[in-house]
Amino acid sequence: MMRTKGFLIAAMIYWVSFATYSIAQPPSTTVDERAEFIRANYNKSEVRIRMRDGVELFTSIYEPNDADPSRQYPILLSRTPYSVGPYGLSQYKTRLGPSPEFEKNRYVFVFQDVRGRYMSGGHFINMRPHVENKSSNDQFDESSDTYDTIEWLVKNVARSNGRVGQWGISYPGFYTSAGAIDSHPALKAVSPQAPIADWFFDDFHRNGAFVLPMGFNFFYSFGRSRPDPTTEGGPSFQFPSRDGYQFFLDLGPLSNVDRKYFNEEIGFWNDLESHPNYDAFWQDRNLLPHLKNINAAVLTVGGWYDTEDLYGPLKTYEAIEKQNPSAKNYLVMGPWSHGQWAGDDGRKLGQADFGFPTSTWFNQNVLLPFFETYLRESREPKNLATGSSAKTGELVVEKSKFQPAEATVFETGANRWQQFDQWPPKRATKKAWFLGEKGKLSTQAPVSTDGFDSFVSDPNKPVPYTMEITTGWAKDYVTEDQRFASWRPDVLVYRSDVLKEPMTLAGPVQANLWVSTSESDADWVVKIIDEEPGQLADSSRGRAPAREPKTTGRHELVRASVIRGRFRESLSDPKPFVPGQPTLVKLELNDILHTFQPGHRLMIHVQSSWFPFIDRNPQKYVPNIFEAVESDFVRATHNLFRDKQHSSLIELPVLAR
């Protein structure tokens, strides 16, 4: 659907890991100042809200305590599996809204432990399946729990103006999306941010390939049962060293996880082991088909460099757009890692420098005006700065005319915000780049009747996904210099000629690989890389002068993805490769908006391991990789074909200028 363009204000500063929030404050607002303001201006209460089936959910409410009892305020709700703590009437949160401006503008802030977590009653189910057409009080889900919560709030919170907004990042983003389904009439605006949409694609899998450190670290703590209400979370795993690559290599097959560490005590890990394919268990946890009957305005937010949940926001926006044609549905994609827009000013990520505080700009020009517009009866934001430049994060349009663009998207490589009336933009056209002889990347299709490139993939020496020494996910690998991988013999590298004109890519990327293997299974990883120019100023001495930046000539990762080859035809019905037989593997990479500047090169990597981000493929076909044993892990020779009949290519969405 087409919408008027426009931009616009707030400052949200949370660093979000998948399971916890910690705060990085702007220079003008320290943690202590914000906490003091909250304690001085808000009263806290704790209630248990009864759901339709009788289960009670623990809820913390912070109401403005100004002297005028007739003043009313909108409610801003956040539902979470990660605790609404601190618990106790005298124990206050040190931040309530997405930014200090929310607290200064006065909202009723509501936080709720979801069913079965921390202090709430009931039984917790990960990504609780949605129930269509509920016919009795015994049928409930996260949508109905949200509805029942809002129903209670608008009837019982005296200072409420009858309008409710909801927001959340990551798992709370899923609860925000679910809460918008069959929207309560009082729910006027929702912002699912980095929302989980389908756990076979978000967080724990990439096209069937298992995300090892996320699954191991997260469920060791989060996956433990909670038989009774508690204010305490589960313990974190204590690694013997910071070297996650070596730890997970020494772990051996995934079948060792329970034997060595989990002891069959982690319920969802057992589910992972039992459901390696996209069967009914996972299909039931796909929220996307259920995103219907949404009557609230929606602002979906994601980060181009979000290694946990990039699929989620893009597909959430797309599903709402298709299934709710009259909805006010907006998308924001910034140059951020997971939740970075809520954690720092967004000027940098790893070695990438975006030139100005992109998070500040978004929060001050989009997020706060969005909620203010839909939740205030006057439809005019309160307490907002006006009339300065976007580079400082201040308002650039009149408050009363606020409306976000349909898609507000950051263009990496050019370091600027772009606005589109739809996403992906209509002006993007598909253009094929062929993987050619001697590592040549070209728009010319091959004419030879034979040709292929080979490499040996050894599960005992998998290609690392980062040079950072960490037991979790490397924070900055998403923009990391890929020269460490370019130099490896088990990584195929293809480079274009030096670009003479800028080339902007906007939308999803399709890789079509014609491959074969000497064994019966393989993963396929494709990376899109921006190779920057980099000649030594004094090559006769064999070293760069001191004034030359260390990043000169770097191979900056722009987008990457992986597919477990057994799922090349069906995620539900895997099949082995026939050894030596050329086979087409198609891989769609998540959307991109990036400009390759003149003087740069487009580079493509193709490899078969990406460790320990992705678990090792044994390369000998085993129906369930979670049951593989050490002897199943074998070396294999993989071929990538580049002849006329088997043209391996990358299809790029080039934006017309």
Residue ranges per domain, the chain? 15-198+285-420, 212-222+231-280, 428-535+550-655
CA 198, chain centre distance (Å): 11
Residues forming a β-bridge with 614: 211
> Whole-prediction pTM value?
0.91
Q: What is the mean pLDDT of the chain?
A: 90
329 falls in which pLDDT band (50, 70, 90)?
A: very high
Residues making up the chain, counted from first to last: 657
> Of residues 403 and 434, which shows the higher confidence score?
434
State the residue for tokens 């980060």. 303
Q: What's residue 292's pLDDT?
A: 97
Instruction: Report which DSSP code applies to 291.
Output: -
Identify residue 257 by its one-letter amino acid code.
V
**Angle made by CA atoms 564, 568, 574, in degrees to the nearest 5:** 75
The answer to whether residue 385 scores a pLDDT higher than 80 is no
What pLDDT, on a 0 to 100 scale, did the predictor assign at position 543?
Answer: 58
Q: How confident is the model at residue 355 (pLDDT cuts 50, 70, 90)?
A: very high
- pLDDT tens-digit readout, 514-547: 999 999 999 999 999 999 998 654 444 555 555 5
Q: What is the pLDDT of residue 27?
A: 43
Q: Is 300 a residue whose pLDDT tops 90?
A: yes
Sign of CA dihedral 616, 618, 619, 621: negative
Within 10 Å of residue 347's Cβ, how many Cβ atoms? 15
- For the stretch 75-91, what's the b/e string if a residue is b when 16 or more beta carbons lie within 10 angstroms of its beta carbon? bbbbbbbbbbbeeeeee
Return the pLDDT at 618.
98
7-11, 157-161, 360-364, 508-512: lowest mean pLDDT where? Answer: 7-11
Q: Is the pLDDT of residue 213 over 50?
A: yes
Distances in Å between the alpha carbon of 210 and those of 104, 202, 206, 352, 372? 44, 11, 7, 28, 41
3-state secondary structure 173-218: HHHHHHHHCCCCCCEEEEEEECCCCECCCCCCEECCEEEHHHHHHH
Helix (H, G, I), strand (E, B) or coil at 387: coil
pLDDT of residue 551: 66
Interatomic CA distance for residues 114 and 84, integer angstroms = 10
Average pLDDT over residues 85-109: 94
Q: Which residues pair with 523 in a beta bridge?
A: 564
SS3 content of the chain, % helix, strand, coil (to 5): 20, 30, 50
Dihedral in degrees, nearest 10, Cα atoms 538, 543, 549, 553: 90
Identity (one letter) of the amino acid at 500? K
Report the alpha-carbon distance of residue 158 to residue 31 in Å, rounded.
29
- Closest by CA to 343, choosing from 176, 169, 481, is 169
581 — pLDDT class (breaks 50, 70, 90): very high
Q: What is the mean pLDDT of residues 166-184?
A: 98
What value does the mean pLDDT take over residues 255-279? 95
pLDDT for residue 379 is more than 80: no
The DSSP symbol for 643 reads S
Give yes or no for a contact between 559 and 306, defined as CB atoms under 8 angstroms apart. Answer: no
pLDDT at 351: 86
* CATH architecture of residue range(s) 428-535+550-655: Sandwich (2.60)
Q: What is the pLDDT of residues 105-127, one digit of tens each?
A: 999 999 999 999 999 999 999 99
Residues 6+ away with beta carbon under 8 Å from 70? none
Q: What backbone torsions phi and psi does residue 9 show, to the nearest 5 degrees?
A: -175, 145
On whether the 212-222+231-280 domain is CATH 1.10.10, my answer is: no
Residue 255's CB is within 10 A of a number of other CB atoms, namely 17
DSSP H/E element including 655: strand 649-655
Within a 13 Å sphere around the CA of 424, how many CA atoms are in the beta-carbon half? Answer: 20
Chain-centre distance for alpha carbon 187: 25
15-198+285-420 matches 212-222+231-280 in fold = no
Is the per-residue pLDDT at 510 higher than 90? Answer: yes
**267-274 vs 212-222: helix crossing angle, rounded to 10:** 140
At 146, which helix (H) or strand (E)?
helix 142-156
20-29, 133-142, 318-327: least confidently modelled range: 20-29
Q: How far apart are the first and last CA of the chain?
A: 22
C-alpha span between 469 and 458 (Å, rounded)? 21
Report, as an integer, the average pLDDT of 510-516.
Answer: 98
What is the spatial distance between Cα 522 and Cα 564, in angstroms, rounded to a whole number?
A: 7
Residue 619 bridge partners (DSSP): 633
Domain 15-198+285-420 class, CATH top level: alpha beta
Quick one: pLDDT at residue 238? 96
pLDDT exceeds 60 at position 14: no
Nearest-angstrom CA–CA distance, 487 and 497:
19
DSSP state of 168: E
- Once rounded to an integer, what is the mean pLDDT over residues 133-146? 95
pLDDT given for residue 473 in this prediction: 84
- What's the token pair of residue 351? 């070695």
CA atoms of 450 and 504, how far apart (whole Å): 32
**H and E: helices and strands count for the chain:** 13, 27
Q: Select the more confidently predicted residue: 304 or 389.
A: 304
pLDDT tens digit string along 41-91?
A: 999 999 999 999 999 999 999 999 998 888 999 999 999 999 999 999 999
Q: Helix 171-180 vs helix 142-156: angle between axes, to the nearest 10 degrees?
A: 80
